Amino acid sequence: MIDLAQLRREPELVTAALARRGVSSETVASLIQSDKRHRELMQEAETLRARVKDLSRQVGEARKNKETERGDALAEESKQLGVQEREASARAEELGAEVRELHLQIPNIPADQAPDGLSEEENVELRQWWPGMDDGQPFPTYADHQRVAHWDIGTELGILDLESGARLAGSMFPLYRADGSRLLRALTQFALDAHADAYEEIRPPSVALTETMMSTGHLPKSQDDMYAVERDGLWLIPTAEVPLTSMNRGEILTEEQLPLRLTAATQCFRREAGAAGRDTRGLLRVHEFEKVELFAYCTPDQAEAAQMDILTRAETLLRRLGLPYRVLDLCTGDLGSASARTFDLEVYTPGVDRWLEVSSVSWFRDYQARRANVRYRTESGTALVHTVNGSGLAWARIWAALVETYRQADGTVVLPEALAPYMAGGATLRRR
Protein backbone atom coordinates (compact mmCIF):
# COMPACT_ATOMS: atom_id res chain seq x y z
CA MET A 1 0.00 0.00 0.00
CA ILE A 2 1.09 3.57 -0.54
CA ASP A 3 1.86 5.69 2.52
CA LEU A 4 -1.35 7.38 3.68
CA ALA A 5 0.68 9.84 5.74
CA GLN A 6 2.43 10.97 2.56
CA LEU A 7 -0.91 11.23 0.75
CA ARG A 8 -2.27 13.46 3.54
CA ARG A 9 0.92 15.54 3.58
CA GLU A 10 1.49 15.80 -0.18
CA PRO A 11 -1.82 15.08 -1.94
CA GLU A 12 -0.95 16.97 -5.11
CA LEU A 13 2.44 15.26 -5.50
CA VAL A 14 0.99 11.77 -4.96
CA THR A 15 -1.97 12.45 -7.28
CA ALA A 16 0.39 13.63 -10.03
CA ALA A 17 2.66 10.59 -9.56
CA LEU A 18 -0.25 8.14 -9.76
CA ALA A 19 -1.58 9.93 -12.84
CA ARG A 20 1.57 8.68 -14.63
CA ARG A 21 0.08 5.19 -14.20
CA GLY A 22 -3.35 6.22 -15.46
CA VAL A 23 -4.95 6.50 -11.99
CA SER A 24 -7.59 9.22 -12.14
CA SER A 25 -7.49 12.18 -9.78
CA GLU A 26 -11.08 11.32 -8.82
CA THR A 27 -9.96 7.91 -7.54
CA VAL A 28 -7.25 9.48 -5.40
CA ALA A 29 -9.61 12.23 -4.22
CA SER A 30 -12.12 9.60 -3.12
CA LEU A 31 -9.51 7.97 -0.91
CA ILE A 32 -8.42 11.35 0.49
CA GLN A 33 -11.98 12.36 1.32
CA SER A 34 -12.92 8.99 2.85
CA ASP A 35 -9.75 8.97 4.92
CA LYS A 36 -10.44 12.51 6.17
CA ARG A 37 -14.02 11.69 7.12
CA HIS A 38 -12.89 8.46 8.80
CA ARG A 39 -10.40 10.35 10.98
CA GLU A 40 -13.07 12.95 11.84
CA LEU A 41 -15.49 10.22 12.93
CA MET A 42 -12.80 8.54 15.00
CA GLN A 43 -12.06 11.86 16.69
CA GLU A 44 -15.77 12.46 17.26
CA ALA A 45 -16.17 9.01 18.82
CA GLU A 46 -13.10 9.54 21.00
CA THR A 47 -14.41 12.94 22.19
CA LEU A 48 -17.79 11.43 23.04
CA ARG A 49 -16.11 8.50 24.79
CA ALA A 50 -14.08 10.90 26.94
CA ARG A 51 -17.21 12.92 27.73
CA VAL A 52 -19.12 9.76 28.76
CA LYS A 53 -16.23 8.73 30.97
CA ASP A 54 -16.18 12.16 32.64
CA LEU A 55 -19.96 12.11 33.15
CA SER A 56 -19.73 8.67 34.72
CA ARG A 57 -17.25 10.09 37.18
CA GLN A 58 -19.59 13.01 37.93
CA VAL A 59 -22.54 10.66 38.41
CA GLY A 60 -20.53 8.72 40.94
CA GLU A 61 -19.60 11.88 42.83
CA ALA A 62 -23.20 13.19 42.79
CA ARG A 63 -24.61 9.98 44.17
CA LYS A 64 -21.86 9.78 46.73
CA ASN A 65 -22.92 13.27 47.85
CA LYS A 66 -26.58 12.17 47.76
CA GLU A 67 -27.34 14.65 44.94
CA THR A 68 -29.92 12.28 43.48
CA GLU A 69 -31.58 14.68 41.04
CA ARG A 70 -28.28 15.91 39.65
CA GLY A 71 -26.93 12.36 39.46
CA ASP A 72 -30.00 11.18 37.50
CA ALA A 73 -29.69 14.09 35.07
CA LEU A 74 -26.01 13.36 34.51
CA ALA A 75 -26.74 9.67 34.06
CA GLU A 76 -29.40 10.44 31.44
CA GLU A 77 -26.97 12.73 29.60
CA SER A 78 -24.29 10.01 29.78
CA LYS A 79 -26.75 7.48 28.37
CA GLN A 80 -27.64 9.72 25.41
CA LEU A 81 -24.00 10.50 24.69
CA GLY A 82 -23.21 6.78 24.92
CA VAL A 83 -25.71 6.12 22.13
CA GLN A 84 -24.09 8.84 20.02
CA GLU A 85 -20.61 7.43 20.74
CA ARG A 86 -21.63 3.93 19.64
CA GLU A 87 -23.21 5.31 16.47
CA ALA A 88 -20.10 7.37 15.67
CA SER A 89 -17.86 4.35 16.35
CA ALA A 90 -20.00 2.16 14.09
CA ARG A 91 -19.87 4.75 11.31
CA ALA A 92 -16.10 5.10 11.80
CA GLU A 93 -15.63 1.34 11.62
CA GLU A 94 -17.75 1.12 8.47
CA LEU A 95 -15.89 3.98 6.81
CA GLY A 96 -12.57 2.53 7.97
CA ALA A 97 -13.33 -0.66 6.02
CA GLU A 98 -14.17 1.48 2.98
CA VAL A 99 -10.88 3.39 3.33
CA ARG A 100 -8.93 0.12 3.56
CA GLU A 101 -10.64 -1.24 0.45
CA LEU A 102 -9.86 1.95 -1.50
CA HIS A 103 -6.31 1.98 -0.12
CA LEU A 104 -5.69 -1.62 -1.23
CA GLN A 105 -6.78 -0.81 -4.78
CA ILE A 106 -4.37 2.11 -5.24
CA PRO A 107 -1.20 0.99 -7.08
CA ASN A 108 2.32 1.90 -6.09
CA ILE A 109 3.86 5.27 -6.88
CA PRO A 110 6.15 4.74 -9.90
CA ALA A 111 9.85 5.47 -9.67
CA ASP A 112 10.96 8.75 -11.20
CA GLN A 113 13.22 6.77 -13.55
CA ALA A 114 10.37 4.62 -14.92
CA PRO A 115 9.50 5.77 -18.47
CA ASP A 116 6.08 7.34 -18.97
CA GLY A 117 3.52 5.47 -21.02
CA LEU A 118 0.11 3.83 -20.72
CA SER A 119 0.61 0.48 -22.49
CA GLU A 120 3.26 -2.15 -23.29
CA GLU A 121 3.84 -0.53 -26.67
CA GLU A 122 5.58 2.30 -24.81
CA ASN A 123 8.05 0.10 -22.92
CA VAL A 124 11.67 1.09 -23.57
CA GLU A 125 14.14 -1.45 -24.94
CA LEU A 126 17.45 -0.90 -23.14
CA ARG A 127 19.65 -3.51 -24.82
CA GLN A 128 19.87 -6.82 -26.63
CA TRP A 129 22.35 -9.66 -26.35
CA TRP A 130 23.10 -12.69 -28.50
CA PRO A 131 25.99 -15.14 -28.79
CA GLY A 132 28.93 -13.54 -30.65
CA MET A 133 27.57 -10.01 -30.30
CA ASP A 134 30.63 -8.90 -28.34
CA ASP A 135 32.80 -10.05 -31.25
CA GLY A 136 30.80 -8.04 -33.74
CA GLN A 137 28.65 -10.88 -35.06
CA PRO A 138 25.13 -9.96 -36.24
CA PHE A 139 21.91 -11.28 -34.73
CA PRO A 140 21.69 -15.04 -35.39
CA THR A 141 20.05 -16.40 -38.49
CA TYR A 142 18.11 -19.62 -38.09
CA ALA A 143 17.83 -22.63 -40.38
CA ASP A 144 14.53 -24.17 -41.36
CA HIS A 145 14.97 -26.99 -38.84
CA GLN A 146 15.06 -24.35 -36.06
CA ARG A 147 11.90 -22.68 -37.33
CA VAL A 148 9.76 -25.48 -35.88
CA ALA A 149 7.45 -24.75 -32.94
CA HIS A 150 8.38 -26.35 -29.63
CA TRP A 151 5.03 -28.15 -29.36
CA ASP A 152 5.80 -30.01 -32.60
CA ILE A 153 9.36 -30.74 -31.49
CA GLY A 154 8.13 -31.95 -28.10
CA THR A 155 5.56 -34.28 -29.68
CA GLU A 156 8.09 -35.61 -32.21
CA LEU A 157 10.64 -36.44 -29.49
CA GLY A 158 8.06 -37.65 -26.98
CA ILE A 159 9.12 -35.07 -24.35
CA LEU A 160 6.01 -32.85 -24.27
CA ASP A 161 2.53 -34.38 -24.05
CA LEU A 162 -0.04 -31.60 -24.11
CA GLU A 163 -2.94 -33.95 -24.84
CA SER A 164 -2.32 -36.01 -21.70
CA GLY A 165 -1.93 -32.85 -19.63
CA ALA A 166 -5.28 -31.57 -20.88
CA ARG A 167 -6.90 -34.95 -20.23
CA LEU A 168 -5.64 -34.90 -16.63
CA ALA A 169 -6.21 -31.27 -15.66
CA GLY A 170 -7.64 -29.34 -18.61
CA SER A 171 -6.01 -27.18 -21.26
CA MET A 172 -2.85 -25.18 -20.51
CA PHE A 173 -1.59 -27.71 -17.96
CA PRO A 174 1.41 -29.23 -19.75
CA LEU A 175 2.76 -32.71 -19.13
CA TYR A 176 6.47 -33.29 -19.71
CA ARG A 177 7.97 -36.72 -20.34
CA ALA A 178 11.39 -38.38 -20.24
CA ASP A 179 14.10 -35.91 -21.31
CA GLY A 180 11.54 -33.11 -21.22
CA SER A 181 11.06 -33.70 -17.49
CA ARG A 182 14.79 -34.05 -16.92
CA LEU A 183 15.40 -30.77 -18.69
CA LEU A 184 13.08 -28.94 -16.27
CA ARG A 185 14.84 -30.50 -13.29
CA ALA A 186 18.24 -29.63 -14.77
CA LEU A 187 17.28 -25.99 -15.30
CA THR A 188 16.12 -25.66 -11.70
CA GLN A 189 19.33 -27.12 -10.25
CA PHE A 190 21.44 -25.09 -12.70
CA ALA A 191 19.84 -21.87 -11.43
CA LEU A 192 19.89 -22.76 -7.73
CA ASP A 193 23.58 -23.59 -7.96
CA ALA A 194 24.26 -20.27 -9.67
CA HIS A 195 22.54 -18.32 -6.88
CA ALA A 196 23.85 -20.32 -3.90
CA ASP A 197 26.75 -17.91 -3.34
CA ALA A 198 24.51 -15.12 -2.01
CA TYR A 199 20.90 -16.35 -1.66
CA GLU A 200 19.54 -18.68 1.00
CA GLU A 201 17.44 -21.42 -0.57
CA ILE A 202 13.88 -21.73 0.78
CA ARG A 203 11.33 -24.43 0.05
CA PRO A 204 7.99 -22.76 0.89
CA PRO A 205 4.48 -24.28 0.80
CA SER A 206 2.67 -24.19 -2.54
CA VAL A 207 -0.41 -22.68 -0.87
CA ALA A 208 -0.83 -19.40 0.99
CA LEU A 209 -3.26 -17.75 3.37
CA THR A 210 -5.31 -14.79 2.19
CA GLU A 211 -3.24 -12.37 4.30
CA THR A 212 -0.08 -13.77 2.70
CA MET A 213 -1.49 -13.10 -0.77
CA MET A 214 -2.58 -9.63 0.35
CA SER A 215 0.97 -8.78 1.40
CA THR A 216 2.33 -8.85 -2.15
CA GLY A 217 -0.63 -7.07 -3.71
CA HIS A 218 -1.90 -10.13 -5.60
CA LEU A 219 -5.11 -9.76 -3.61
CA PRO A 220 -7.52 -8.19 -4.03
CA LYS A 221 -6.23 -6.72 -7.31
CA SER A 222 -5.61 -10.00 -9.22
CA GLN A 223 -8.14 -12.29 -7.57
CA ASP A 224 -9.51 -13.48 -10.91
CA ASP A 225 -6.05 -14.76 -11.88
CA MET A 226 -5.58 -16.80 -8.71
CA TYR A 227 -6.57 -20.40 -7.93
CA ALA A 228 -8.54 -20.58 -4.67
CA VAL A 229 -8.84 -23.59 -2.36
CA GLU A 230 -12.04 -22.19 -0.87
CA ARG A 231 -12.77 -25.04 1.57
CA ASP A 232 -9.54 -24.34 3.44
CA GLY A 233 -9.25 -20.60 2.89
CA LEU A 234 -6.05 -21.04 0.89
CA TRP A 235 -4.67 -19.99 -2.49
CA LEU A 236 -2.25 -21.75 -4.83
CA ILE A 237 0.78 -19.49 -5.10
CA PRO A 238 1.28 -17.69 -8.44
CA THR A 239 4.97 -17.16 -7.65
CA ALA A 240 7.43 -17.76 -4.80
CA GLU A 241 7.38 -13.98 -4.34
CA VAL A 242 4.21 -14.50 -2.29
CA PRO A 243 5.61 -16.66 0.53
CA LEU A 244 9.06 -15.05 0.45
CA THR A 245 7.60 -11.56 0.97
CA SER A 246 5.80 -12.80 4.09
CA MET A 247 8.70 -14.83 5.51
CA ASN A 248 9.20 -12.12 8.15
CA ARG A 249 5.68 -10.73 8.27
CA GLY A 250 5.08 -8.75 11.44
CA GLU A 251 8.76 -8.88 12.44
CA ILE A 252 11.48 -6.30 12.99
CA LEU A 253 14.87 -7.09 11.44
CA THR A 254 18.19 -5.56 12.35
CA GLU A 255 19.84 -3.31 9.80
CA GLU A 256 22.84 -5.64 9.86
CA GLN A 257 20.65 -8.44 8.44
CA LEU A 258 19.95 -6.41 5.30
CA PRO A 259 20.00 -7.06 2.45
CA LEU A 260 18.43 -10.43 3.29
CA ARG A 261 18.50 -12.51 0.11
CA LEU A 262 16.32 -15.57 -0.49
CA THR A 263 15.70 -17.91 -3.42
CA ALA A 264 13.08 -20.60 -4.00
CA ALA A 265 12.12 -23.08 -6.70
CA THR A 266 8.36 -23.65 -6.77
CA GLN A 267 5.41 -24.61 -8.90
CA CYS A 268 3.42 -21.52 -9.88
CA PHE A 269 -0.30 -21.43 -10.65
CA ARG A 270 -2.10 -18.75 -12.64
CA ARG A 271 -5.56 -18.82 -14.16
CA GLU A 272 -4.52 -16.43 -16.95
CA ALA A 273 -7.99 -14.90 -16.92
CA GLY A 274 -8.82 -13.22 -20.19
CA ALA A 275 -6.16 -15.14 -22.13
CA ALA A 276 -8.59 -17.41 -23.99
CA GLY A 277 -7.51 -17.74 -27.62
CA ARG A 278 -4.39 -15.58 -27.10
CA ASP A 279 -0.88 -17.13 -26.97
CA THR A 280 -2.30 -20.36 -25.59
CA ARG A 281 -0.53 -22.88 -27.85
CA GLY A 282 2.20 -25.02 -26.38
CA LEU A 283 4.06 -23.39 -23.51
CA LEU A 284 3.46 -19.77 -24.46
CA ARG A 285 0.93 -19.27 -21.68
CA VAL A 286 0.20 -22.01 -19.14
CA HIS A 287 -1.70 -22.40 -15.89
CA GLU A 288 1.12 -24.22 -14.07
CA PHE A 289 4.86 -23.77 -14.48
CA GLU A 290 8.11 -24.01 -12.56
CA LYS A 291 10.22 -21.03 -11.63
CA VAL A 292 13.25 -20.09 -9.54
CA GLU A 293 12.63 -16.80 -7.74
CA LEU A 294 15.15 -14.35 -6.30
CA PHE A 295 14.03 -12.05 -3.50
CA ALA A 296 15.54 -9.47 -1.13
CA TYR A 297 14.52 -7.43 1.88
CA CYS A 298 16.67 -4.30 1.91
CA THR A 299 16.97 -0.70 3.05
CA PRO A 300 15.95 2.08 0.63
CA ASP A 301 19.63 2.81 -0.04
CA GLN A 302 20.28 -0.85 -0.94
CA ALA A 303 17.26 -1.26 -3.22
CA GLU A 304 18.82 -0.22 -6.55
CA ALA A 305 21.84 -2.48 -6.07
CA ALA A 306 19.57 -5.36 -5.01
CA GLN A 307 17.45 -4.97 -8.14
CA MET A 308 20.52 -4.76 -10.38
CA ASP A 309 21.98 -7.89 -8.76
CA ILE A 310 18.87 -9.92 -9.57
CA LEU A 311 18.74 -8.52 -13.12
CA THR A 312 22.42 -9.33 -13.68
CA ARG A 313 21.97 -12.87 -12.38
CA ALA A 314 19.01 -13.49 -14.68
CA GLU A 315 20.95 -12.10 -17.66
CA THR A 316 23.96 -14.23 -16.77
CA LEU A 317 21.85 -17.39 -16.84
CA LEU A 318 20.52 -16.48 -20.29
CA ARG A 319 24.04 -15.86 -21.56
CA ARG A 320 25.24 -19.18 -20.20
CA LEU A 321 22.32 -20.83 -22.00
CA GLY A 322 23.24 -18.95 -25.19
CA LEU A 323 19.73 -17.57 -25.71
CA PRO A 324 19.32 -14.18 -27.41
CA TYR A 325 17.44 -11.78 -25.15
CA ARG A 326 16.45 -8.17 -24.71
CA VAL A 327 15.89 -6.01 -21.62
CA LEU A 328 12.81 -3.79 -21.39
CA ASP A 329 12.28 -0.93 -18.96
CA LEU A 330 8.52 -1.07 -18.36
CA CYS A 331 6.59 2.15 -18.74
CA THR A 332 4.39 3.39 -15.91
CA GLY A 333 1.19 2.10 -17.49
CA ASP A 334 2.54 -1.46 -17.85
CA LEU A 335 3.92 -1.82 -14.32
CA GLY A 336 2.36 -4.38 -12.00
CA SER A 337 0.19 -2.66 -9.41
CA ALA A 338 2.72 -3.21 -6.59
CA SER A 339 5.82 -2.28 -8.58
CA ALA A 340 7.65 1.04 -8.63
CA ARG A 341 10.02 -0.04 -11.41
CA THR A 342 10.32 -3.24 -13.43
CA PHE A 343 12.77 -4.64 -15.98
CA ASP A 344 11.54 -7.49 -18.18
CA LEU A 345 13.80 -10.03 -19.87
CA GLU A 346 12.50 -11.52 -23.11
CA VAL A 347 14.14 -14.36 -25.05
CA TYR A 348 13.85 -14.83 -28.80
CA THR A 349 12.35 -18.14 -29.90
CA PRO A 350 12.92 -18.99 -33.59
CA GLY A 351 10.23 -21.68 -33.84
CA VAL A 352 7.40 -19.27 -33.04
CA ASP A 353 9.36 -16.18 -34.12
CA ARG A 354 8.55 -14.33 -30.91
CA TRP A 355 10.14 -12.50 -28.01
CA LEU A 356 8.85 -14.19 -24.85
CA GLU A 357 9.05 -12.79 -21.32
CA VAL A 358 11.01 -15.08 -19.00
CA SER A 359 11.71 -12.75 -16.07
CA SER A 360 10.38 -9.60 -14.42
CA VAL A 361 12.71 -7.91 -11.96
CA SER A 362 10.83 -5.45 -9.78
CA TRP A 363 11.43 -2.95 -6.97
CA PHE A 364 8.38 -2.38 -4.77
CA ARG A 365 9.65 0.35 -2.41
CA ASP A 366 7.86 -0.26 0.95
CA TYR A 367 4.49 -1.00 -0.74
CA GLN A 368 4.54 -4.72 0.08
CA ALA A 369 6.32 -4.31 3.42
CA ARG A 370 3.58 -1.94 4.61
CA ARG A 371 1.02 -4.69 3.97
CA ALA A 372 3.21 -7.38 5.53
CA ASN A 373 4.47 -5.06 8.32
CA VAL A 374 8.14 -5.99 7.88
CA ARG A 375 10.45 -3.43 9.49
CA TYR A 376 14.06 -2.95 10.48
CA ARG A 377 15.66 -1.07 13.34
CA THR A 378 17.32 2.25 12.66
CA GLU A 379 19.16 4.65 14.94
CA SER A 380 15.97 6.68 15.37
CA GLY A 381 13.47 3.82 15.65
CA THR A 382 12.07 1.47 13.00
CA ALA A 383 11.37 1.78 9.28
CA LEU A 384 9.69 -0.36 6.65
CA VAL A 385 12.01 -2.49 4.52
CA HIS A 386 11.97 -2.29 0.73
CA THR A 387 11.37 -5.47 -1.27
CA VAL A 388 12.88 -6.54 -4.59
CA ASN A 389 12.26 -9.73 -6.54
CA GLY A 390 12.70 -11.31 -9.94
CA SER A 391 12.62 -14.62 -11.79
CA GLY A 392 15.88 -16.38 -12.23
CA LEU A 393 14.27 -17.86 -14.35
CA ALA A 394 10.75 -19.08 -15.34
CA TRP A 395 11.20 -22.39 -17.14
CA ALA A 396 8.23 -23.06 -19.46
CA ARG A 397 9.28 -20.49 -22.06
CA ILE A 398 12.99 -21.18 -21.49
CA TRP A 399 12.24 -24.84 -22.23
CA ALA A 400 10.51 -23.77 -25.44
CA ALA A 401 13.39 -21.48 -26.46
CA LEU A 402 15.99 -24.17 -25.84
CA VAL A 403 14.35 -26.92 -27.89
CA GLU A 404 13.68 -24.53 -30.79
CA THR A 405 17.08 -22.80 -30.77
CA TYR A 406 19.16 -25.96 -30.39
CA ARG A 407 17.20 -28.28 -32.69
CA GLN A 408 19.48 -30.02 -35.19
CA ALA A 409 18.85 -30.97 -38.80
CA ASP A 410 18.26 -34.62 -37.77
CA GLY A 411 15.51 -33.57 -35.33
CA THR A 412 17.53 -34.00 -32.13
CA VAL A 413 18.15 -31.17 -29.69
CA VAL A 414 21.72 -30.58 -28.46
CA LEU A 415 21.52 -28.57 -25.25
CA PRO A 416 24.12 -25.93 -24.29
CA GLU A 417 27.21 -27.11 -22.42
CA ALA A 418 26.11 -25.34 -19.22
CA LEU A 419 23.33 -27.90 -18.77
CA ALA A 420 25.39 -31.02 -19.53
CA PRO A 421 26.37 -31.70 -15.87
CA TYR A 422 22.68 -31.69 -14.90
CA MET A 423 21.36 -34.00 -17.63
CA ALA A 424 21.91 -37.56 -16.41
CA GLY A 425 20.50 -38.94 -19.63
CA GLY A 426 22.86 -36.85 -21.79
CA ALA A 427 22.73 -33.35 -23.23
CA THR A 428 21.21 -34.53 -26.53
CA LEU A 429 17.43 -34.88 -26.59
CA ARG A 430 16.22 -37.59 -28.96
CA ARG A 431 13.27 -39.91 -29.16
CA ARG A 432 13.96 -42.98 -27.03
pLDDT for 63 equals 87
Residues annotated as catalytic (active site), given as ranges: 270, 285, 357, 360, 397
- The pLDDT value given to residue 114: 98
The vertex-213 CA angle with 360 and 357, nearest 5°, equals: 15
Pairing of strands 325-329, 375-378: unpaired
Q: Please say if the pLDDT value at position 279 is more than 80.
A: no
- CA 128 to CA 120: how far, in whole Å? 18
Domain boundaries for CATH 1.10.287.40 within the chain: 4-105
CA count, 13 A, side-chain hemisphere, 163: 4
Model pLDDT, residue 172: 95
For residue 274, pLDDT over 70 is answered with no
**For 120-429, CATH number?**
3.30.930.10
Which range among 123-137, 272-286, 292-306, 333-347 shows the weakest confidence by mean pLDDT?
A: 272-286
pLDDT in tens, 78-136: 899 999 999 999 999 999 999 999 999 999 999 999 999 989 999 999 999 999 999 99
Q: Is residue 388 scored above 80 in pLDDT?
A: yes
Residues 154-173 pLDDT 10s: 999 999 999 999 999 999 99
Which CA distances in Å does 369 have to 372, 398, 426? Answer: 5, 31, 44
Bond from prior residue into 259 cis (ω within 30 degrees of 0): yes
Nearest Cα to Cα of residue 17 among 164, 211, 60, 6: 6
Residue 160: DSSP 8-state: B
pLDDT per residue over 169-207, tens digit each? 999 999 999 999 999 999 999 999 999 999 999 999 999
Give CA separation, 87 vs 80, 90, 286, in Å. 11, 5, 51
pLDDT reported for residue 275: 58
Asked: is 4-105 a CATH 1.10.287.40 domain? The reply is: yes
* Ranges for all domains in the chain classified under CATH 3.30.930.10: 120-429
pLDDT for the residue 426: 86
Instruction: Read off φ and ψ for residue 91, nearest 5 degrees.
Output: -65, -40
Task: Say if residue 243's pLDDT is above 90.
Answer: yes
The mean pLDDT of 284-301, rounded to a whole number, is: 97
- CA separation, residue 164 to residues 161, 167, 179, 276 (Å): 6, 5, 16, 20
Amino acid at 380: S
Its pTM stands at 0.93
What average pLDDT is seen over the chain? Answer: 95
Give the integer Cα–Cα distance in Å for 401 and 348: 7
Q: Give the pLDDT band of residue 277 (cuts 50, 70, 90).
A: low
